[in-house]
Amino acid sequence: MKMNDKRSSGPWLARYVWLIAAVILTGLVYADSNQEKHPDIEFAYHAITGLGPEEGVMRRDPSDIIKVGDLYYIWYTKGDEFHGWNGTVWYAVSPDGWNWEERGESVARGPGERWDSLGVFTPNILVADDRYWLFFNTAPKGFGEWTKTAIGMAVADHPDGPWKKQDEPILITDSDTNKFDSVRVDDTCFVMRDGRYFMYYKGKQWGLSWRETKQGLAIADEPGGPYTKVEENPVIPAGHEVMVWPYGEGVMSLINIGPEPYWESLQYSDDGIHFRKIADTGRVPGAAGFYRPEAFTDSGKGGMPEWGIHIGYTDGFLPHLERVECRWPDPDSLATSIAPE
């Protein structure tokens, strides 16, 4: 589940007082941030058609964006509640990234009382072996603050489906309550490196708040797993939303929430495991999915994302989707920032 600091209003608010309070608190924390952002980093937000504000409809937590033929594809959580835990995975296509056509549900919740019976939400996409692999958060019925989540997977031969959902989770929480991912594993994001599949994800530890989530990494030799968590976890001790992409031969990560020096920052890793801050960003997009054309190529030529889709908020409506345009430091400046110390 991803959150950011904006908030909306409507008759449903009374049913989620605790959640709205958390969102408001996040806004207050942001307001107290005194970090000076890099002058060449800027995010601009714009309305899009097809996925914007709609009465009684929630769309949030978009996947990264892929292009197949002449169309861009995106997946996201859709439902009728603010939080999205009981939502399902839907998708849309666009010829230009601005005008979107919703095509339908990709992954439904599971039956009975199983691990995905409440909802399947916060999807992300991996393209590999000429197939499409959807990963998504899952929650069982009776879900509460300390209910454990899992990450599920579905696979298809075409981005329009049909999708075959796996019977068991692809990643689960750690049984040790002292581990950073002992109560939540959420929000996958994929990069291919050295012929292997790097699954970045968010973990929450038993007894800690969502503001203390951290980023982990699990690696597989095949796109469908098995995924093994790395010993260095958590690879970034911050971040409530997982936004990563390949940059050159390394990996960039955009962090929203966390302690210094991670708060609202751009982090870089040469090996995809050991990250260091290279810039302060100021406020970042809300749970953005970016267009990352080199993410699954293992080319060593990844660049900074120019645009993506993130969660937007409009008074009187449930969360919806917006476009975000990104401005970054020039490549020479970035090269200086990521040079070994």
What class has domain 11-338? Answer: mainly beta
- The residue-averaged pLDDT of 255-273 equals 94
**At residue 314, what is the residue type?**
T
How confident is the model at residue 260, as a pLDDT?
Answer: 85
DSSP-derived secondary structure letter, 297 = T
DSSP tag of 248: B
**What whole-number percentage of the chain has pLDDT above 70?**
89
Tell me the per-residue pLDDT of 144-157, one tens digit each, with 9 for 90 and over: 889 999 999 999 99
d(CA 22, CA 19): 5
Look over the chain and give the mean of its residue pLDDT values, rounded to a whole number: 90
Is residue 37 very low, low, confident or very high in pLDDT (cuts 50, 70, 90)? confident
State yes or no: pLDDT of 115 exceeds 90: yes
Q: Which amino acid is at 260?
A: E
**Whole-angstrom Cα distance, residue 60 to residue 112?**
25
Instruction: Write the pLDDT tens digit of every residue in 155-211.
Output: 999 999 999 999 999 999 999 999 999 999 999 999 999 999 999 999 999 999 988
Q: What is the pLDDT of residues 208-257, one digit of tens each?
A: 998 899 999 999 999 999 999 999 999 999 999 999 999 999 999 999 99
Residue found under tokens 């929000």: 187
Q: What are phi and psi of 339, to 5 degrees?
A: -60, 140
Q: CB of 201 within 8 A of CB of 186?
A: yes
What is the C-alpha to C-alpha distance for residues 255 and 285, in angstroms, rounded to an integer?
Answer: 10
Query: Do 87 and 122 contact (CB within 8 A), yes or no?
Result: no
Residue with tokens 């210094």: 260
**pLDDT value of position 145:** 87
Q: How confident is the model at residue 340 (pLDDT cuts 50, 70, 90)?
A: confident
Q: Above 80 in pLDDT, residue 106? A: yes
List the single range of 21-30, 36-45, 159-168, 301-310 with lowest mean pLDDT. Answer: 21-30
Angle made by CA atoms 75, 76, 77, in degrees to the nearest 5? 145
| Tokens read off for 81 | 């509640």
β-sheet with 250-255: strand ranges across:
244-247, 250-255, 265-269, 275-280
pLDDT at 298 over 70: yes
Domain locations in the chain as residue ranges = 11-338
Token representation of residue 174: 């750690």
Beta bridge partners of 132: 127, 156
pTM: 0.90
Give mean pLDDT, residues 45-53.
Answer: 98
Specify the higher pLDDT residue, 16 or 163. Answer: 163
Answer yes or no: is pLDDT of 55 > 80.
yes
